Structure 1
Amino acid sequence: MRKPAAILLASASLVVATAAHAAPDVVVSIKPIHSLVASVMQGVAEPTLIVDGAASPHTYSMKPSNAKAVADADIVFWVGPTMEAFLDKPLDALGGKAMVVALGDAPGLEKLTFREGGPFEAHDDGDEQGEGHDHVTEEAHHDDHGHDAHEAHAHEGHSHEGFDTHLWLDPENAKAMVKEIEARLVAADPANVAIYTRNTLALLKRIDALDVEIAATVAPVKNKPFIVFHDAYQYFEHHYGVKVAGSITVSPETAPGAERLKEIKAKIAGLGATCVFAEPQFTPKLINVVTEGTRAKSGVLDPEGATLKAGPDLYFELMRTIATSLNDCLGKDS
């Protein structure tokens, strides 16, 4: 049976209207920020994730499917070239087609510089950094094309990237990134502003509740020092008051030398009974080397969600898993 012309015309109009209000094609680099973007976009569209599965952004190589996704994107969210070095050149090649958003430049972030010396291996980034928790707070500056001016400089030499980029491990930083994500999505897709706004408000409240929960989880063990595989946790440490006593390496793609392992083993022996945490993406053999002959226990921490399913809930699972792992290992009787 043939449809009346009026119905056909109405259907055609609906198709045109739908196409006119199509959601932007969004690509996100890594799981933790993909989770935040996916939460803000719920009910509109699903963003594409580049570093999926158990892969690590520290050692990742772009696949042809990743390159196509980036080339077709309207918006690309990433932390920045220090965290996702594999994306630096592909994003340069976009030639301004996509809005590229470096969430490492989001307004309101509290940034901590790399730690060096003693239990924290020197980080060769071309800058002179001191020990301890040095703070860097930067505001984003955006040009007329939606690219960060700060990011444009980053592509030239990365000399400003003297901060730890695992920013999401501080929930206040996660909230700052969520607000930036919302602002960029609203600018690109004003037709869905009501959904983005509603999702953002719900997400911020959910992060606040998570913050209270995690503080309670780690409270019994916050004064017990521990050793991590690489120095990725200082935002978590700084926010919750837990005590990272050292890291086996700063850059997980670079294996520590014999002297470094000897130094960390001595640190562990000096601490007595403690915990040494591996990461799921990297070999646990080094953990065995530094704990052999000591009273140290071992566990696993996953700062990037390698073992977790990508999606809106991943950020919350990631943070809870870190807190629970600390409590489980450090809370054991010595």
Structure 2
Amino acid sequence: MSRNVLPLTVSAALLGTTAWADVPKVATDIAPVHSLVSRVMQGLGEPALIVASGASPHEYSLRPSEAGALQDAELVFWIGPDLTPWMEDAIETLATEAAVTSLMDVDGTTELPFREGALFEAHDHDDHDDHDDHDDHDDHDDHDDHDDHDDHDDHDDHDDHDDHDDHDDHDDHGQYDPHAWLSLDNGAVWLNAIAAQLSAADPDNAGTYYTNAATAREEFDTLRTEINDILTPVRGRNFIVFHDAYQYFETSFDLPASGAISISDATDPSPARIAEIQARVKQQDVTCVLSEPQFDPKIVAAVMDGSDAKTGVLDPLGSDLEPSSELYGNVLRNLALALADCL
């Protein structure tokens, strides 16, 4: 993408002031991505947030201001079509001149395949796939791994039962779980990619972008220690999540879930799946069943029927947080605090 850098004005030169080139206009999909980009742009500018806080990223109707932000964008950062399938068409239609980065496609990103069934086995740390064999994708045409799932929600796994709806939901979706921002390692990789893209578009401010990214990575190291300290007392205890969105966090901090109530956050669980989870709650002495802000509490109550398990709420998007450069770290910290409290 070419950009014209305006020369110093005569008055600025006479006054001895510095006139920076215009900071690029940037659009981001969800609040955690907006937070990472805000951190790299700190002191220079603020990206636009396309998916409003509290809204589902899977199905969304753009407001005029959000469509305008995409149309004006010179850079777009998003997770990719597995999380926001509707956004691919919006980018192609509106952000025609923008350099687009799908963060799931960034070199070095760890991707975890969807887990199978309602019940999870212990994590196999060799299952993940580091994206070391492909380049950063700067435009939205390069989604080789995501061809046949542009109009489906985030369907995380399917039962081994003859649950037709679960199989349809899973088979029509992509291979990898898109909730990859819940890994601090991925967040650190993405900070570098964001700084590189911003620097290419705005070389005069490259030093600031890279310094901000480096400082944020140091903050991540501190956050990792803090989260480990929070979770250490409850490791080894069993919990159930509402839908399978947390395996990046679980893998990062060695705290595996025992299972998920629902195949996705857009589909109610089948009776057979609920029965399977109820059995797991009893067999493994599950002490905690976790929901999310938008889900029907009656489903969690059904799973917990007859058990002494506690309940809590996990929020992977920071729905109740103000969008800011601090949101990303607060999302992960709040996950740890909610888990520790429930367990």
Q: Same fold (TM over 0.5)?
A: yes
Matching of residue 186 in structure 1 with residue 199 in structure 2: yes
> Mind listing any 5+ residue stretches in structure 2 that lack a counterpart?
1-8, 150-171
Q: Structure 1 or 2: larger helix share? A: 1
TM-score, normalised to structure 2's length? Answer: 0.83
Tell me by how many angstroms 1:273 deviates: 4.5
- Paired residues of 2:230 and 2:337 also in contact (CA < 8 A): yes
Residue 212 of structure 2 corresponds to which residue in structure 1? 199
* CA distance in structure 2 between the partners assigned to 1:160 and 1:56 by the alignment: 17
**In 2 relative to 1, CA 269–59 (structure 1 residues): closer, same or farther, beyond 3 Å?**
farther
Tell me by how many angstroms 1:259 deviates: 1.6
Residue 157 of structure 1 corresponds to which residue in structure 2? 148
* CA distance in structure 1 between the partners assigned to 2:200 and 2:45 by the alignment: 16
- Paired residues of 2:183 and 2:252 also in contact (CA < 8 A): yes
Tell me by how many angstroms 1:54 deviates: 1.1
Residue 274 of structure 2 corresponds to which residue in structure 1? 261
* CA distance in structure 2 between the partners assigned to 1:51 and 1:96 by the alignment: 19
Q: SS of the residue aligned with 2:258?
A: strand
Tell me by how many angstroms 1:154 deviates: 5.4
Residue 135 of structure 1 corresponds to which residue in structure 2? 128
* CA distance in structure 1 between the partners assigned to 2:174 and 2:201 by the alignment: 27
> Percent identical across equivalent pairs?
40
Amino acid at match of 1:183: A
* CA distance in structure 2 between the partners assigned to 1:110 and 1:209 by the alignment: 21
Matching of residue 328 in structure 1 with residue 334 in structure 2: no
Residue 110 of structure 1 corresponds to which residue in structure 2? 110
- Paired residues of 2:31 and 2:327 also in contact (CA < 8 A): yes
Tell me how many residue pairs correspond in the alignment. 307
Tell me by how many angstroms 1:309 deviates: 1.1
Tell me by how many angstroms 1:210 deviates: 0.3
Q: SS of the residue aligned with 1:157?
A: coil
* CA distance in structure 1 between the partners assigned to 2:261 and 2:118 by the alignment: 11
**In 2 relative to 1, CA 136–197 (structure 1 residues): closer, same or farther, beyond 3 Å?**
same
TM-score, normalised to structure 1's length? Answer: 0.85
Query: How well do the aligned residues superpose, as a CA RMSD in angstroms?
Result: 2.3
Matching of residue 40 in structure 1 with residue 31 in structure 2: no
Q: Deviations over 1:100-149 (max 9, x none)?
A: 110011111111100012426xxxxxxxxxx9662222244257xx3166
- Paired residues of 2:180 and 2:186 also in contact (CA < 8 A): yes
* CA distance in structure 2 between the partners assigned to 1:13 and 1:25 by the alignment: 29
Tell me by how many angstroms 1:164 deviates: 0.9
* CA distance in structure 1 between the partners assigned to 2:102 and 2:173 by the alignment: 13
Amino acid at match of 1:112: L
> What aligned pairs does 1:47-86 form with structure 2 within 5 A after superposition?
47-86=47-86
Amino acid at match of 2:11: A
- Paired residues of 1:28 and 1:76 also in contact (CA < 8 A): yes
- Paired residues of 1:40 and 1:199 also in contact (CA < 8 A): yes
- Paired residues of 2:118 and 2:260 also in contact (CA < 8 A): no
> Mind listing any 5+ residue stretches in structure 1 that lack a counterpart?
1-7, 121-130
